[in-house]
Amino acid sequence: EAGVVQSPRYKIIEKKQPVAFWCNPISGHNTLYWYRQNLGQGPELLIRYENEEAVDDSQLPKDRFSAERLKGVDSTLKIQPAELGDSAVYLCASSLRRDWNNEQFFGPGTRLTVL
């Protein structure tokens, strides 16, 4: 079974430029998560989708960050414009259902460097 796929794996951009990350969850997983992991820290949730609906985006900086999951499968996370402090690893995860014991499967992440 294929795991969570993310692309690109690495991205280097100059500040004020836009950037987008893509995630393909495990087939059949209706819950999708985007996390940001700063250097030396644990992941922090940015947004959670149940199918195509964003049900928790309280930690998403909405002035510059946006996300979509139009058909309830793939998802994109966009930053426009990027700032130096956005340098981090952006992780996507998916789970089969939103249950107390659901296991979240993580992708390898996209490492963003903003110069």
Partner 1 sequence: GEDVEQSLFLSVREGDSSVINCTYTDSSSTYLYWYKQEPGAGLQLLTYIFSNMDMKQDQRLTVLLNKKDKHLSLRIADTQTGDSAIYFCAERNTGTASKLTFGTGTRLQVTL
User: Residue numbers of the site for partner 1 (CB under 8 A)?
Assistant: 4, 31, 33, 40-45, 48, 56, 91, 93, 95, 98, 100-109
- Judged by beta carbon, residue 32 or residue 79, the one nearer partner 1 is 32
Distance from CA of residue 105 to its chain's centroid?
Answer: 13
- Judged by beta carbon, residue 89 or residue 114, the one nearer partner 1 is 89
Smallest separation (angstroms) from partner 1 to the CB of 6: 8
Smallest separation (angstroms) from partner 1 to the CB of 71: 21
Cβ-proximal residues to 43 (8 Å cutoff; 6+ apart), any chain: 35, 36, 37, 91
Report the distance separating Cα 47 and Cα 64, nearest Å: 14
Judged by DSSP in three states, 84 sits in: helix
